Amino acid sequence: MQTDYKFAAAAARAALGLTFLAVAPAGAQVLNVVLVNGGRPTSLPAQIPTTIEGITAQQIEERINATDSEDALKYLPSLNVRKRFAGDYDHAVLASRASGTGNSARSLVYADGILLSNLLGNGATYTPRWGMVTPEEIERVDVLYGPFSAAYPGNAVGAVVDYQTRMPRKLEGHVRVSGFTQRFKQYATRADYRGAQGSASLGDRAGAFAWWVDVSRLDSDGQPIGFANKPLSAGTAAGPGPATPVTGAVADRNPSGRDWLILGATNQVRTVQDHAKVKLAYDVSPVLRASYTLGWWHNDAERRSTSYLRDVAGNTVTSGTIDVDGRRYQLLPSDFAPARGELEHVMHGLSLKRHAKDVFDWELAYSRYDYRKDRARTATDFVAGPDARGAGNVTDMHGSGWNTVALKGTWRPNAAHVVDLGVQRDAARLRTRVVNSADWIRGTTGRPVSTFNGQTRLEAMYGQDTWRIDDAWKATLGARLERWRAFGGEMSAAGGGLVPFGARSETSWSPKAALAWRASDEWTLKASAGRAVRNPTAAELFQGSIVDERIVNTDPNLRAERSWTGELTAERITGSGSLRATLFHETTRDALYSQPLTATVNTVQNVGRVRTNGLELAQQADDLWLRGLSFNSSLTYADSRIVANDALPASVGKRQPRVPRWRATALASYRFGERWTGTLGARYSGRQYGTLDNSDPNGQTYMGVSDYLVADLRLRYRFDAHWSGALGIDNLGGEKYWAFHPYTQRTVVAELKFDL
């Protein structure tokens, strides 16, 4: 693969050349990133003169092999979702300009105003609840870059993603079936992994009443995402007891460049996910609408392991003391432990909204997300296979969840001003109980291992005024005042009672400002600035261990992240496309990262200061060179560095984890007449590190973070007004790349769809 700099230079030349072509004289319909193809208006504050990008349902259907809702974000500038396989429900974290895929709490994801971001914690296991939206029900997706709206809490520092799903104007129905398969080759694993997905939806409107029902099932057999390993240096020449000579171990180097042995593939995930959603809307009057959404998601997941090790008779070895080339290693139950997951989540959304667009509009909204069932099971004894009984840990998060309440108002005192006002309350409740059961597959009770509980609450009020000064100038000024509380924190160790944490509270405020100047009919200059305060989540704050009935190995003075973000944009929009260049800057003080507290313990602590400077180029063009040829591209440069960190001085001057210096996307789509559409896309991400001190230079291995350049292909054919089909390939070249776990390799996708 080419180096970052060589690729970036070539990409920059190509992007700049194409962007000049993209702004040819007017002659086609304007492509608007907020309202397009008759879609519904975004709920994002589009009146604020700052960066908003989007994609419509038609564009997703024609151009993207979408097996999960997060696939819609694949080609939006500066975004990356760490999706490891179809149906990845617990590690698909969203990354943005200055936030990596380990910082899930630095972005917000909504669906029809309902919070999907999991703010119980921050990290890979607190991914947004993407499964509550299926690709087929999406009407459009919009993204607000940065914390420039006072209507959102500090978690919006990276981006706000808003999924708008379908609500019918007349009778409509859709049925879609798809299948996918990948050939996966890594270490000693050579296998095909397949899956299928089916969905159906139906909706109608009768006078003032509208309804929508959507159901789906995903059955996905993913590739192994973990690998059992032993450092070569851990082997000994002799030891007590016999050792079994084995073959099959694969020699490799770990992310730090040290020799290790790969002993087998683990965490090969089979996930079966069911989804159902009901949406109801009633127009109480021509300007007042009541809406209700009920979402249900169920998941059965099974994680299997395969040992590469064989004894002299050819039998598979998964336990005991082994001998590899004269060095002895002890296999642990955790090396090849099978695991299972049983999850059932329910969400509710209720709103009453006045939308007259006269002097004053308002909305009252409530949402709730519940972990009705959430159990993860892992064997702790040596078991003969994934279905063998034995002892194991059962982690139960039943009772966890979050809820939001908001009262919003929009006041239009005259044609020049639009004033947004609101009060909000967001609450999160974390419940985590671990027991060791005699039956890891079926047991629900057993010897207590640990308990972690805690709650957070954020109460806020905000106001912002968008002022159209004249035909050329528009400005927005806003501020957000927040009161944050963390309480109910408690934990226990094996066999012990609950030990409480102290309560915490803090008041903060965040100013926002934006200014736009329309220099001509085509050119607009924009400047935005905003402060964001990202408070610790319950999982970050309430952690540690118990010694002598005291909580230790935690930071009792953990502070909130405080970020100042700014961007300066030049944008040109013509009848055939758009061109945008954005300079952005972010300084974050007290960034929240896990780092060494002692020589043997890591815990979440504050990183003194992280600074990011960057440039983002984005263009989109219709009828480029040929009628029917559309081309979108983006190029992002980000220099993100740790400039102060007393807890780990070795990290000062190093690059922020999971934030590459260069990112790029390109997507070309061509309509062959009225029936055929072909799309070719490419995605690039430069070199990354997974550690604060950048001590993991080897990215092309398990637990490493690598650069990548992958291409995707899609060919869609519309048979008639009702039937369509598509064939696609993701990762066309079979690239092997990593974000701690391996991403999917070459995957073929086929789908058939019927629209009523």
In sequence order, what are the beta bridge partners of 580? 571, 618
Range of the domain at 675: 4-755
Alpha carbon distance 308, 313 (integer Å): 14
Question: Residue 2 pLDDT > 50, yes or no?
Answer: no
The predicted-structure confidence for 392-447, as pLDDT tens digits, reads as follows 999 999 999 999 999 999 999 999 999 999 999 999 999 999 999 999 999 999 99
Q: Is 315 exposed, middle or buried (0-12, 13-18, 19+ CB in 10 A)?
A: exposed
In sequence order, what are the beta bridge partners of 192? 183
Closest CA to 679 of 718, 631, 724: 631
Alpha carbon distance 509, 426 (integer Å): 16
Instruction: Identify whether the C-beta of residue 661 lies closer than 8 Å to the C-beta of residue 639.
Output: yes
Report how far apart, in Å, the C-alpha atoms of 400 and of each of 255, 276, 403, 535 are. 35, 21, 11, 19
What does the angle CA 110 – CA 52 – CA 679 come to, to the nearest 5 degrees? 90
Closest CA to 755 of 203, 131, 275, 56: 203
The predicted-structure confidence for 595-647, as pLDDT tens digits, reads as follows 998 878 899 999 999 999 999 999 999 999 899 999 999 999 999 999 999 99
Mean pLDDT for the stretch of residues 57-83:
96
Q: Is 348 exposed, middle or buried (0-12, 13-18, 19+ CB in 10 A)?
A: middle
**Distance from the Cα of residue 693 to its chain's centroid:** 24
The least confident of 36-40, 138-142, 235-239, 679-683 is 36-40
Q: What pLDDT sits at residue 556?
A: 87
Closest CA to 63 of 681, 720, 719, 732: 681
Q: What pLDDT sits at residue 238?
A: 85
Backbone phi and psi for residue 599, each to the nearest 5 degrees, phi listed first: -65, -25
pTM of the model: 0.93
Place of tokens 């963390």: 486
Q: What pLDDT sits at residue 585?
A: 98
% the chain with pLDDT above 90: 89
pLDDT, averaged across the chain:
93
Number of domains within the chain? 1
Alpha carbon distance 53, 515 (integer Å): 18
Question: Residue 41 pLDDT > 70, yes or no?
Answer: no
Question: Residue 17 pLDDT > 80, yes or no?
Answer: no
Measured from the Cβ of residue 611, the count of other Cβ atoms closer than 10 Å reads 17
Question: Residue 299 pLDDT > 70, yes or no?
Answer: yes
Structure tokens at 640: 């993100």
| Residues whose CB falls within 8 Å of the CB of residue 324, separated by 6 or more in sequence, listed in order | 235, 246, 249, 261
Question: Residue 14 pLDDT > 50, yes or no?
Answer: no
The 10 Å CB-count burial string (b at 16+, else e) for 272-292 is bbbbebebbbeeeeeeebebe
Find the Cα–Cα–Cα–Cα dihedral 381, 384, 388, 392, rounded to 10°.
10
Question: Residue 10 pLDDT > 50, yes or no?
Answer: no
The tally of CA atoms less than 13 A away on the side-chain side of residue 589 is 5
Mean pLDDT for the stretch of residues 11-20:
39
Mean pLDDT for the stretch of residues 658-677:
96
The separation between the first and the last C-alpha atoms of the chain, rounded to the nearest angstrom, is 46
Closest CA to 404 of 478, 460, 483, 479: 460
Write out the DSSP string of 133-179. S-GGGEEEEEEEESS--TTS-GGGGSEEEEEEEP--SS-EEEEEEEE
Mean pLDDT for the stretch of residues 363-380:
97
Place of tokens 């980000």: 638
**Distance from the Cα of residue 713 to its chain's centroid:** 23
Instruction: Identify whether the C-beta of residue 227 lies closer than 8 Å to the C-beta of residue 260.
Output: no
Question: Residue 118 pLDDT > 60, yes or no?
Answer: yes
% the chain with pLDDT above 70: 94
Alpha carbon distance 622, 624 (integer Å): 5
Q: What pLDDT sits at residue 496?
A: 84
Which pLDDT band, with edges at 50, 70 and 90, does 27 fall under?
Answer: very low
Q: What pLDDT sits at residue 26?
A: 32
The predicted-structure confidence for 379-396, as pLDDT tens digits, reads as follows 999 998 888 999 999 999
The predicted-structure confidence for 531-559, as pLDDT tens digits, reads as follows 999 999 999 999 999 988 899 999 988 99
What does the longest C-alpha to C-alpha distance in the chain come to?
87
The predicted-structure confidence for 216-257, as pLDDT tens digits, reads as follows 999 999 999 999 999 999 999 988 889 999 999 999 999 999
Backbone phi and psi for residue 754, each to the nearest 5 degrees, phi listed first: -120, 130
Question: Residue 39 pLDDT > 90, yes or no?
Answer: no
> Are β-strands 602-621 and 577-596 bridged in parallel, bridged antiparallel, or unpaired?
antiparallel
Query: Which residue did the predictor score with more confidence, 375 or 46?
Result: 375
Alpha carbon distance 608, 606 (integer Å): 6
Q: What pLDDT sits at residue 305?
A: 97
Which pLDDT band, with edges at 50, 70 and 90, does 28 fall under?
Answer: very low
Q: What pLDDT sits at residue 33?
A: 33
CATH number of domain containing 482: 2.40.170.20
The predicted-structure confidence for 688-744, as pLDDT tens digits, reads as follows 999 999 999 999 999 999 999 999 999 999 999 999 999 999 999 999 999 999 999
What does the angle CA 156 – CA 157 – CA 158 come to, to the nearest 5 degrees? 90
Which pLDDT band, with edges at 50, 70 and 90, does 45 fall under?
Answer: confident
The least confident of 24-33, 350-359, 637-646, 698-707 is 24-33
Alpha carbon distance 626, 563 (integer Å): 45
Q: Is 34 exposed, middle or buried (0-12, 13-18, 19+ CB in 10 A)?
A: middle
